[in-house]
Structure 1
């Protein structure tokens, strides 16, 4: 580059050396063939442009294509599965085999029983031929064998063999090889074959690959492991506490589409394993994260888990939703899905909508029994005549630790629970408090049992297992309602009876409502509708809450409703159609069995004085029969509230005395029959051995009444005749005492056990 200075009047001229091409200029001599140079120049420009375009396209698509290949390898090699998921799949095969064996045994047993049933039906209609009788006998033996085999299988626990890390690696490698061989390689081969056979197809596949690569370059998909599927999150597949899965940890390889390495703290946080269930959560943040993942996985629009608190029984949460309703968590499919994802027991999730915020709810996850003896506490001691019926009494505790404290005054109550749900126990707990009052008496009605009779003499009046007597008591209570209404008007007491020691309240406990006769049901409903203002209060229980069992649709009209373990229809019948969605899940409670307490005594409640109507579980403290008997005797000895004054004013004193005499006569046990006393004396004479044979008893019977028991002395079947007539005499006397084979004696003679004789005597004591 050169410059020349021509003075101040001319601008500075700068000349650049270069080559100027003019296609119209005449060729210079000796310059060579101009057309060839031009073609070469054009080719160089085209090649340069193509290379530039290739570099541009490659830079924009190759990282994405690499990501696509990495995803293919990630999928084909099953790297998206965690070691725990593979472990669960291996164990699930063992569980499937364990279940199939029992299903096959059950099917074989049922098939055999159906074949037997057909032969039995045929025998009843047309009789059986000889071969058919043999076939029936063989089927019976086969059914017993299959039944015993099934019992043995059911008794065997599921004890899977946990896989080692090497077995998990082999499982992953073998299935990855199958995927590569059967899917990836054939797909690539098919693509290459189509492209070679029809090159024009590259006009379709090429842009598609480039477009996919460009998109993946801009939106790379990370190569991560997925959460364990919900169907594998069942307790049977959980690893034992001492199981350790030592998977090799390799340093993460940088991908072509990855940015700068993350900070060490971030990498460390990613390596920390998130808890897979609430049982594994150690902090509130971890528990909240587990719940949030589970709710969102069920398709609910969760805004946040605002609060997570560890409780003695598990975790309690407060959640908010962006859209939808928290009540959706109580839908069957969502509820069951959450139970599986959180790995809780079948009824271990309780959802209670917040009445103050429609978008929020309280969620309680039960990992342990919420009502341990330490939480519920012992039965408080209430001395005789120490309370007023108007006072609040402590009956138990709520799940959140709130005391179950309320007054029995004015309660018109119905409790619904299945057999074993704790109805009688709850009634006994309420009656225990009522019998400690100085201004209330307790009546007891039970058409099928003894009701709250465990309190003994603390009960003022009982009518049990006698429909005529029960109806007489209900008639008397209706008369008393009318009399008190007149008294109340005469005294100017306003719209309700004024309870005092001179004018006590009457609390009537009615057990097994559906067992009442139709006439008694009508009278009971009428008394419940009229008695509240007159301080004649009814607390009843039933196994069913529907109209066909109660006689009328009275349940929803009562001010107080308690629900133990019961049907879903009972919940909606008593509390309304939306009760299940609100969280009143009494249908999830489990009634007691002969050997397991389960959820007996746990209730949901509405209408208890001083307590909010919220779907939370309560536990009523148990009053044992021994405690009830001791307290009842103590209170009877101290004296019960006197009804003389109030009944005299009502003009019903003599009517009450006549009714009381009938009830006491009905409850007085009959004397023990003479034949039973004779058998008992025979045992005493022999110094109370564990058992006596009929031959031994025959000597004592003959000594007691020779004319009656000695008339078979000359017969060879003397003992058989005495045994037969002894059994008939006991049955005719209403004694439940059966003979038994005394297999520990030579010849296995027939006889009677001392324990059975004593049990029979208790029915008459």
Structure 2
């Protein structure tokens, strides 16, 4: 159809000269030849075959034959599933587990019994299926055969039509729910995600919500629906994933989600794609409790389930050679997390568990199964003694590797177990205890001397670089926003690691207590986990049962190599709780330097400036460095003297000078002040 032109255009025509006479016109009366006329032999045989197949393939009879075959194949698969059920898969799983425990006689017999039991159950199921089908099919087949014999061709044709009809009904294409929307039409008004009845509607719901916040997307695909909500992938047209992460609270309104119900995870494989989890209900409503773990039934290298992910997958981990940090604010479930980890470790036959808590009651329910304990703010000396002994063992064990044929790492046994010290309220440790703990973090992994540290917040001065350098498993529950960077690293918040959006328990409302983000030991996605629950009563029962079965102690080989006669604190190690802070900080400076006999004043001032910059940073004493150091040394001497006077001790705090060196303090002097030395006065 030609579109009419409204504005007439006038073309300039050149003036032709007048002809002198009539013009003769020649007309060609031959038949016209088509512009493109190719004989059939030019076309390739492949092209002819393709056209023929296309024509035949679209014929109704061929289409119905295909539908019929697919329908009866579908019926056959259903019947096969009824006959065998899930038993083939369970048998394969049991056989795979049997291969993984080669060498463990007890477990081999256990899984071998499972394989035989499942195989017999499969045979019984097949037998019952065949008996049921034979009882049903024999009368029907007999009647059909009799009708065919009597009716002849017409009955056979009727049977064929019935077979085709059933096959077509089962095999015809169904309406497909693609779960994906292309961005082409004009945006509509957002609607609640609860109104979405299928994947396509869920994708459209999210698309509209994003459009209402000015986020331009190329594609939205609803991946899967869970009992708790939807999982949706968004492909951005422009911008960056942080645009969605930052607007997550605003998007919850058009989606009609609970507070902090939208979780965002940028995908590493494609930075333009973001995985959204729309949480409408509690993902952990049906989560099981902690499984039964019999005394000494596990080894430290065994993987054990400690938590479940929000998608229902278990998070199992082996704690062998793994340092752990747990950060959760008050009411965030820190005690539950530590109790679950303690339950796992005290069930192992080759682990000695230590409980160090300067501010609470630690792992009290499991106390009877704990190897060494030092709790309370008046037990700082015992905490330091245990940490010092553990550090000596960590440094001594590598000297035994070659002698015992252990390779590059200590191999825990019930006779010479791994040592795991659980330290709650880490920031409340003394400076010396913190320094000892940091040294264990950096030297203890190969010796299987490990720490599980817990705190309400990840402060720079208390945890510092130790988290990033040495800790493999990082667990963060409800916490502050600044804790994200300190524990997970810079930029983790923009990548979806948002424990600051979890809420601690308030009164009788548990909120998000026990829910955490986990990084390390195979967990790389910012997905909410929840730790298994072990109540106090059950933990107490397990602790008594494990203590009665016997718990391991540090072996003689490790003690001799470390120069120790025992592992654990005594009453003599108890440190007075009224020591001034300056005394503990100076003691921490010596511990950080591996307790030398002498430490220059300048080194002590550098340590104090790092751990308490508001009072001891060099710039606090002036711009001239030399004069500032002299002023700092004078302040240090004065505060130590006042501390000794307040403690009523006859100890000289005067500095000493080594031959040809700087002035400073002796370790023995500081130990006399802290009470570690037997030399005391008044």
Describe the superposition over 1:666-707 as per-residue Cα deviations: whole angstroms up to 9, x where unpaired.
Answer: 9xxxxxxxxxxxxxxxxxxxxxxxxxxxxxxxxxxxxxxxxx
Q: Give the Cα–Cα distance (whole angstroms) in 1 for the partners of residues 571 and 371 of structure 2.
A: 12
Asked which structure has the greater CA Rg, the reply is 1
Match of 2:191 among 253, 269, 276: 276
Match of 1:317 among 232, 243, 248: 232
Contact 2:417 2:555 in 1 (8 A): no
Tell me what 2:391 maps to.
Answer: 478
CA separation of 1:651 and 1:542: change in aligned 2, threshold 3 A: closer
Q: CA deviation at 1:285?
A: 1.6
Q: Give the Cα–Cα distance (whole angstroms) in 2 for the partners of residues 404 and 529 of structure 1.
A: 26
**Structure 1 or 2: larger helix share?**
1
Matches within 5 A, 1:587-626: 587-608=500-521, 611-626=522-537
Contact 1:420 1:593 in 2 (8 A): yes
Describe the superposition over 1:515-541 as per-residue Cα deviations: whole angstroms up to 9, x where unpaired.
Answer: 111221111111111111110011111
Structure 1 unaligned blocks of 5 or more:
1-9, 11-269, 667-765
Describe the superposition over 1:706-729 as per-residue Cα deviations: whole angstroms up to 9, x where unpaired.
Answer: xxxxxxxxxxxxxxxxxxxxxxxx
SS at match of 2:530: strand
SS at match of 2:567: helix
Q: Give the Cα–Cα distance (whole angstroms) in 2 for the partners of residues 490 and 639 of structure 1.
A: 28
Q: Give the Cα–Cα distance (whole angstroms) in 2 for the partners of residues 593 and 489 of structure 1.
A: 54
Matches within 5 A, 1:243-392: 276-331=191-246, 334-372=247-285, 374=286, 376-392=287-303
**Would you say 1:498 and 2:408 are equivalent positions?**
no
Matches within 5 A, 1:366-765: 366-372=279-285, 374=286, 376-465=287-376, 466-550=379-463, 552-557=464-469, 558-608=471-521, 611-650=522-561, 652=563, 654-656=565-567, 659=569
SS at match of 1:533: coil
Q: How many residues align?
A: 388
Tell me what 1:719 maps to.
Answer: none
SS at match of 2:244: helix
Q: Give the Cα–Cα distance (whole angstroms) in 2 for the partners of residues 623 and 578 of structure 1.
A: 34
Structure 2 unaligned blocks of 5 or more:
1-21, 23-184, 577-682
**Greater Cα offset, 584-593 or 514-523:** 514-523
Matches within 5 A, 1:87-126: none
Q: CA deviation at 1:652?
A: 5.0
Q: CA deviation at 1:656?
A: 2.2
Q: Give the Cα–Cα distance (whole angstroms) in 2 for the partners of residues 653 and 545 of structure 1.
A: 33
State the TM-score, normalized to the length of structure 1.
0.49
Contact 2:190 2:254 in 1 (8 A): no
Q: Give the Cα–Cα distance (whole angstroms) in 2 for the partners of residues 274 and 365 of structure 1.
A: 19
Tell me what 2:44 maps to.
Answer: none
Describe the superposition over 1:99-139 as per-residue Cα deviations: whole angstroms up to 9, x where unpaired.
Answer: xxxxxxxxxxxxxxxxxxxxxxxxxxxxxxxxxxxxxxxxx
Q: Give the Cα–Cα distance (whole angstroms) in 1 for the partners of residues 269 and 242 of structure 2.
A: 14
Q: Give the Cα–Cα distance (whole angstroms) in 1 for the partners of residues 516 and 573 of structure 2.
A: 32
Q: CA deviation at 1:390?
A: 0.2
Contact 2:235 2:274 in 1 (8 A): yes
CA separation of 1:663 and 1:462: change in aligned 2, threshold 3 A: farther
Q: CA deviation at 1:653?
A: 5.6
SS at match of 1:548: coil
Q: Give the Cα–Cα distance (whole angstroms) in 1 for the partners of residues 303 and 249 of structure 2.
A: 39
Q: Give the Cα–Cα distance (whole angstroms) in 2 for the partners of residues 622 and 662 of structure 1.
A: 38
Tell me what 1:224 maps to.
Answer: none
Contact 1:591 1:598 in 2 (8 A): yes
Q: CA deviation at 1:547?
A: 1.0
Q: Give the Cα–Cα distance (whole angstroms) in 2 for the partners of residues 648 and 330 of structure 1.
A: 52
Describe the superposition over 1:175-228 as per-residue Cα deviations: whole angstroms up to 9, x where unpaired.
Answer: xxxxxxxxxxxxxxxxxxxxxxxxxxxxxxxxxxxxxxxxxxxxxxxxxxxxxx
Q: CA deviation at 1:321?
A: 1.6
Q: Give the Cα–Cα distance (whole angstroms) in 1 for the partners of residues 422 and 534 of structure 2.
A: 16
